[in-house]
A and B are shown apart, each in its own frame.
Chain A
Amino acid sequence: MKIVQNAANDTLTLALDGELDASSSVLLDNELTKPEILNFRKVMIDCQRLNYISSAGLGVFISHLQRFQDAGVRLVFFNMQEKVHNVFEILGLDSLMTIVPSEQEATAI
């Protein structure tokens, strides 16, 4: 699992590369726990290279959802592979989180 960060203005983009399982989700959790992340208006998660997400990986997003909402930070997923999107959908997260097809749409939000 590799996480590439790119901060521009009020937007932070995290590109996830690989499998988000129990061990790699710790890395992501460390990134999302950083207090300075709440200074951004929007956090975009690029899922193009995300091949797999386990329940532990989902748990990371779920656990930070409320905190982001309270701080007024938008969490936006884009470029999600169908397999991964299916996991979000089954769990019902697609109605809870913003998932858009492309980066353009994500930026437009």
Chain B
Amino acid sequence: MVAFREKLIPVALPLAVLSWLALLVCMLLRAYAPAASQWGTPPDWLILLTQAAFAAGVFVYERSRPDRLRGAEFVPLLRQLLLGPGLLAAGAAGLHLAERLVLPAGMATNPLLLNTLYTINLGLFVYFLARTCYAWRSLVFFRAQPSTRREWEWFELLLGATLLFRLVQGQNLHWTVYPIMAILAGLGVYLSAHQQWVAYLNRRQKWEVVFLQAAVLGVMATYLVYFRYLQLAPELAGPLAQHAFLLLTSFFAGFYAVMGLLVTLFNLPTAGVFEQKREEILSMQRLAQLIQKGQTEHEVYNLLFDSAVQTVEADAAWLDLFAEGANPFLEHKVDATTRQGICQLLTDYNIGHIEYLNNDLPHSAGFRALGLEYGSLIVMPLRSSKHHYGTLYLLKRFRQGFDRENLSLLQIFTSQTVLSIENLRLLEHSLQNERVKEELKIASLVQEGLIPKTLPADSWFEIRWHSLPAREVGGDFYDFLQLSSSRIAIIIGDVSGKGTTAAFHVAQMKGIFHSLMLLDRPEKGQPLQPSKFMAMANQALSHCLERSSFITASFYIIDYKERGFAFARAGHCHTLYYNAITEESFYFQTEGLGLGIIRDASYEKRIKNMYYDYNPGDVMVMYTDGIVEARNAEDEEYGEARLRELLSRSHYLEAEELKQAIITDLEQFSRGLPPFDDQTLLVIKFKNAQPMA
């Protein structure tokens, strides 16, 4: 069936043209007696056959044309229909009709001319009908269910069948045909109910469509008059055209046009509402787009204000933002007295911060007292769960000015706005975070630069170190200073707390260390005692350390000439030591209070000096609490005991290897858990060799 229809399409147009020419020849033969006598008179059935073939050809051809409806361009579709075939057909028929009417009664026209014009007009009319029907098909199918398409195909098929009626039954139709025609007409009426497309027109387009449909009806009316008139003309040579088919298609084309016209007309009063909805959707889209574009807050507020005033058609409005102080951020046809009056009243009623709709201001005593020229008021706060940004006030002159729709739309507008403001602020925030991160990176680099990288190349001891801050910058510190050719000062410490604050104190502590080292004058018999160093550092810190902060430190002065060292501990972790002679590892258990805990002269009493003579092969391990307090997944601490055992096992290693062994053991213990606190480790191994000259 489908294949057969496909084959029909290419022959449709030639069939239509040829059968129309045949019809013309037949009509002329019958109208012109001399020719008829020579060529013979064509019978009625031939004329009817050519007419049917022509109509079928035109309809099949028109059916196979691509859909003329582009998207939702309804007006151009109708305009094309009317300005093309419609105007042509109406013009031709109208001219012929006019010519017939102005002729004096009784004066016969040339039968050849009349029949030629009749055949042309018939052709134009059939073409116009086909175009109209298939234009209506486009409209019927617009957003229609698939079942509608099936109904339409049945409609077409039955209509095609009616072409045969005239051929089989002749001039007068048998009564059995009437019910079939009634059913077809009913189907046409049913299909005419598909007028969804009207809803997609705006007000201007609706007016245009009304005129276009009326014009289409006008063309059909012209033909109705024309055919009625010609039916009576004695000069008409052939039988009248296919009435059942033409009648039914004209009926459908006309009825659909009438229905469309009526639907459009009835839709006209509501066109404004539709357009308003459209405007609202567009405003929402604009707001949503601004969110993504990341415009400024001012732009977002401006857009909210304009959209709100436009959509609810407010007579006066203003927007208060808390960030802007007492003056309204935006206003629209409102004076200060009205504003202040309303705001004061709302505050008095204690409803200044909530959503509020009053559609009958003159009936509320408070508002009546203000003597406002407005009847309705909406108060819409702009708030999120955390923050109240401002309030939007809208006024209308008349009572009952706002409805539920307005209110819910404003709610959407304001929540959209709040969302977009919060997005903007988040963006701003993350930019700032980014800046802070950059600065922390710089601080980290600066601190990195403060860590000593090299030590005087002496061969009487080896020192290795490791430092890992828990954050970008840390509170651990260590430093070395060569005091003289045979003496070196070492400090290791930890500032309470972590991060930037601690890092500042680290820098301070380094300054204190280097300044106080200037007081070391062994050549004058005044070597710096470690306890004295701690006391002075404590005094220096007492002015710049906040009350709840403190610093722990261990300070050592190693003298290789004497083969010994002096040290003091200020609350810092005990120093771990391995004695190569006794083959024992132990912690130096000395007393000493952390720096900054007491800030007067009594501090010095709480720090003890300790002296120790070292032997080649001895190992000293200094560290911060980040090492011994490192935890594993079971929340156990690494601990002093474990560290001591490790040293007992590995004391023979070189300083570098020993340091690595400790780090590896620590990593194995914490199994990939990130360090919770800064970790610093110094390993010193004493040697036999004498310093290089």
Contacts and interface: CB of A to CB of B under 8 A. Distances in A.
Q: Are chains A and B native binding partners rather than an unrelated pairing?
A: yes
A29 B552 CA distance: 22
Interface string B583-598: 0000000011110011
Interface in A1-52: 22, 29
Contacts, number: 57
B42 interface: no
A24 to B, nearest CB: 14
A58 B593 contact: no
Contacts of A63: 547-548
B592 A56 contact: no
B593 A95 contact: yes
B593 A93 contact: yes
B591 A59 contact: no
A106 B496 CA distance: 29
Interface in A56-109: 56, 58-60, 62-63, 65-66, 83, 90-93, 95-96
Contact of A90 (B496, B548, B574, B597): B574
Contact of A92 (B497, B573, B591, B637): B591
B497 A55 contact: yes
B606 A91 contact: no
Interface residues of A, number: 18
A54 B494 CA distance: 13
A65 B547 CA distance: 10
Contacts of B572: 90
Given A56-B496, A59-B496, A92 B548 contact: no
A59 B598 contact: no
A22 B552 CA distance: 18
A90 B606 contact: no
B496 A96 contact: no
User: Interface centre among A58, A62, A96, by most B CB within 10 Å?
Assistant: A62
B593 A92 contact: yes
Interface of B (DSSP majority class)? loop
Nearest to A55: B496
B517 to A, nearest CB: 24
B548 A62 contact: yes
Given A55-B497, A60-B548, A96-B598, A90 B573 contact: yes
- By secondary structure, the A interface counts as helix
B293 to A, nearest CB: 39
Nearest to A60: B548
Most buried by A among B548, B552, B591: B548
A91 B597 contact: yes
B549 interface: yes
B238 interface: no
B550 A92 contact: no
Contacts of B469: none
Contacts of B597: 62, 65, 91-93, 96
A84 to B, nearest CB: 12
B69 to A, nearest CB: 68
B550 A58 contact: yes
Interface string B432-444: 0000000000000
Interface in B637-651: 637
Contact of B591 (A55, A62, A95): A95
Contacts of B549: 59
B86 interface: no
Nearest to B549: A59
B571 interface: yes
A51 B384 CA distance: 41
Nearest to A62: B597
A22 B592 CA distance: 24
B550 A62 contact: yes
Interface in B419-459: none
Contact of A91 (B497, B593, B637): B593
Contacts of A66: 598
Interface centre among A22, A83, A90, by most chain B C-beta atoms within 10 angstroms, is A90
Contacts of B548: 29, 56, 59-60, 62-63
Interface in B541-568: 547-550, 552
A90 B637 CA distance: 16
Interface in B346-373: none
A92 B594 contact: yes
B496 A58 contact: yes
B465 to A, nearest CB: 21
Nearest to B551: A55
A60 B597 CA distance: 11
B550 A59 contact: yes
Contacts of A93: 571, 593-594, 597
Central interface residue in A22, A60, A62, A92, by most chain B CB within 10 Å: A92
A63 to B, nearest CB: 4
6 interchain residue pairs of minimum CB distance = A92-B593, A59-B548, A55-B496, A63-B548, A91-B571, A63-B547
20 contacts: A29-B548, A55-B496, A56-B496, A60-B548, A62-B550, A63-B547, A65-B597, A66-B598, A90-B573, A91-B552, A91-B571, A91-B594, A91-B597, A92-B571, A92-B597, A93-B593, A93-B594, A95-B593, A95-B606, A96-B593
Interface of B: 494, 496-497, 547-550, 552, 570-574, 591-594, 597-598, 606, 637
Given A56-B497, A65-B597, A92-B606, 13 more contacts: A58-B550, A59-B549, A62-B547, A63-B547, A83-B637, A90-B572, A91-B550, A91-B594, A91-B597, A92-B571, A92-B594, A93-B594, A96-B593
